[in-house]
Amino acid sequence: MQRRLGHWVFCSWVLSCLWACRALAQIIGPPDYIVGQVSFPSAATGDVAVIGTSLFAGQGSFGAGTQSVVRRDWDGTLTTVVTGLNSIGGLAGNHSYLFITDNGGELAGATTGDTVFALPDPTGVATAVSAVGLEIAAPGSVPFAQGIALGPDGHPFVGDAAGGNSGRVLRHREFGYPPFVSLFSGHDYVAGLAFDASGLLYFGDVDDATFLGSVFRYDPATNAKTLVVGGLSGAYDQAFDVSGRLLVTGGFTGDFSSSTVVAVDELGNVTEFARGFSFTTGIDVDQNSGRVYVLDFGSANVTTFTPIDRLFPGGGAVGTDCWSEFSDVSPVLNSRGKPTSKTVCRDGEACDRDGAADGVCTFAVGLCLRVPRSGCTVPPFSSIEMTQLGQSTLDPSLQSLLSAAQAILGGSTAECVGPVPVQVPLLSTPQGLRPSKKRLRVRVRGPQRAVDTDRLTFRCVP
């Protein structure tokens, strides 16, 4: 009873912070990121996860069986994929499985919970699946299941936010019983988990007396834990950005006017990444594009932060090249280290957004307009055109991208649309599979016949 009471004390603290911070300012991100939003049907809850060009978020109010997970695809299609959840803690996944934690199994009327669920084929499932039957550990076996991250082998690690010096981190094992075993304990409210590029595990911890947050690093090779940083104004979830900084949600500005996301470098130095939220909970980072996704508790929008230094201008003149730039692509560099207009992906590798070696490379591409660049002046635009060279019509996904770009053409600030998938099938010949490509051209027109022309070739190789 004492451990469960601690859990409710933590929830009450969060709710009181939410009540104090409802009147919010505009969300402000770093100057080298473009801020955007992705809409969901209702207020998002728990966590957010990006897989390929699909985004997943929790939906519904806290209660027995009242929460669900919804997938938002590139074309705006919304699909409820899991129902019957009570209190979503975290989401983490890949094309094979979406893992979900739920810590509300003790609620009257709950049919499952306090465990971890695994939804197969999350980007392909077409109708909602009940959480009952998706458990990978018995209901009640992880009483305070909260943060979750996938280890280097693809198996989930879970934070059990028990409080009272009983918080622990669990690891999943494919064989043996129980499926989850304690990796270590002795913490309070274990918050988000994340692995760095070298395989070290980082996890948050909120003190159950002061509610101050800390981040620890665990080395599985030496079984050693190290305090990375303490004294944070909160810690809820975390993810590494593409520069190697750990982004941590759940904090607040000094005057509690809004909730924040902070960045922690490898030395433990803390800087503010973004502010203006009600209460930041879930966070995920698309490692291909570098885009950061942040869930703000109580908002129907997931906020995005697209890094400008990962955009590709597309080869236009310097004075106009910032009018329109491609996102979500990595151009091939020439012998002088300069970007070409070509992006190459090998079927089945990380750049292939369908996650399978299936004879088709699924690229992703987005567009950002009015990108702030030195030496480039942005005038009012008159039109935007998109052409697939060698084809009479655009692929449906690219037509959708063009329509979205036309909708923001009259804006005055930097905005991004997409990403959308671009499928490039390999050529099948008697000698086997051969490379193939698609070519894209984008033209943004300004005043006095000024034009920014950008080109991109998608090349798929076996």
**Cβ-based burial of 71 (10 A; exposed 0-12, middle 13-18, buried ≥19):** buried
Quick: pLDDT tens for 75-124. Answer: 999 999 999 999 999 999 999 999 999 999 999 999 999 999 999 999 99
Compute and round to an integer the Cα radius of gyration of the chain.
23
142 and 182 housed in the same domain: yes
DSSP 2-24: HHHHHHHHHHHHHHHHHHHT-S-
Quick: pLDDT tens for 245-275. Answer: 999 999 999 888 999 999 999 899 999 999 9
260 and 316 housed in the same domain: no
List Cβ neighbours of 42 (8 Å cut-off, separation of 6 or more): 59, 60, 300
At residue 402, does pLDDT exceed 50? yes
By the 8 A CB rule, do 240 and 41 touch? no
In 3-state terms, what secondary structure has residue 397?
helix
Phi, psi of 400 (to 5 degrees): -65, -40
**Higher-confidence position of 436 and 390:** 436
156 and 55 housed in the same domain: yes
At residue 173, does pLDDT exceed 70? yes
Residue 233: alpha-carbon gap to chain centroid: 23
Specify the long-range contacts of residues 446-450, CB closer than 8 Å, at least 24 apart.
Answer: 446/320, 446/323, 446/379, 446/380, 446/381, 446/382, 447/379, 447/380, 447/382, 450/320, 450/379
In 3-state terms, what secondary structure has residue 406?
helix
192 and 255 housed in the same domain: yes
Alpha-carbon distance of 198 to 257, in angstroms, equals: 37
At residue 237, does pLDDT exceed 80? yes
**Residue in 417, 406, 411, 398 with CA at minimum distance from that of residue 444:** 406
**Cβ-based burial of 235 (10 A; exposed 0-12, middle 13-18, buried ≥19):** buried
Residue 238: alpha-carbon gap to chain centroid: 11
By the 8 A CB rule, do 203 and 219 touch? no
pLDDT category at 24 given cuts 50, 70, 90 is very low
| Sign of torsion over alpha carbons 339, 419, 239, 119 | negative
325 and 449 housed in the same domain: yes
Strand stretches in 61-208, DSSP E: 67-72, 78-85, 88-93, 97-102, 115-120, 129-130, 145-150, 156-160, 167-172, 180-187, 189-195, 201-206
Beta bridge partners of 303: 37, 294
The last residue of one of the domains, among 290, 308, 326, is 308
297 and 157 housed in the same domain: yes
242 and 336 housed in the same domain: no
30 and 92 housed in the same domain: yes
108 and 180 housed in the same domain: yes
Residue type, 397: S
Residue 200, domain extent: 2-308
pLDDT category at 405 given cuts 50, 70, 90 is very high
At residue 137, does pLDDT exceed 70? yes
35 and 182 housed in the same domain: yes
Alpha-carbon distance of 148 to 171, in angstroms, equals: 10
Quick: pLDDT tens for 352-389. Answer: 999 899 999 999 999 999 999 988 989 999 999 999 98
Both tokens of 390, joined, read 């060698």
The last residue of one of the domains, among 263, 284, 308, is 308
289 and 326 housed in the same domain: no
By the 8 A CB rule, do 168 and 184 touch? yes
211 and 246 housed in the same domain: yes
Alpha-carbon distance of 340 to 269, in angstroms, equals: 36
The last residue of one of the domains, among 282, 308, 334, is 308
**Cβ-based burial of 337 (10 A; exposed 0-12, middle 13-18, buried ≥19):** exposed
Please give the tally of structural domains in the chain. Answer: 2
pLDDT category at 336 given cuts 50, 70, 90 is confident
**Cβ-based burial of 407 (10 A; exposed 0-12, middle 13-18, buried ≥19):** exposed
The pLDDT value given to residue 2: 34
pLDDT category at 133 given cuts 50, 70, 90 is very high
We report the CATH number of the domain holding residue 48 as: 2.120.10.30
Alpha-carbon distance of 205 to 198, in angstroms, equals: 22
Beta bridge partners of 159: 169
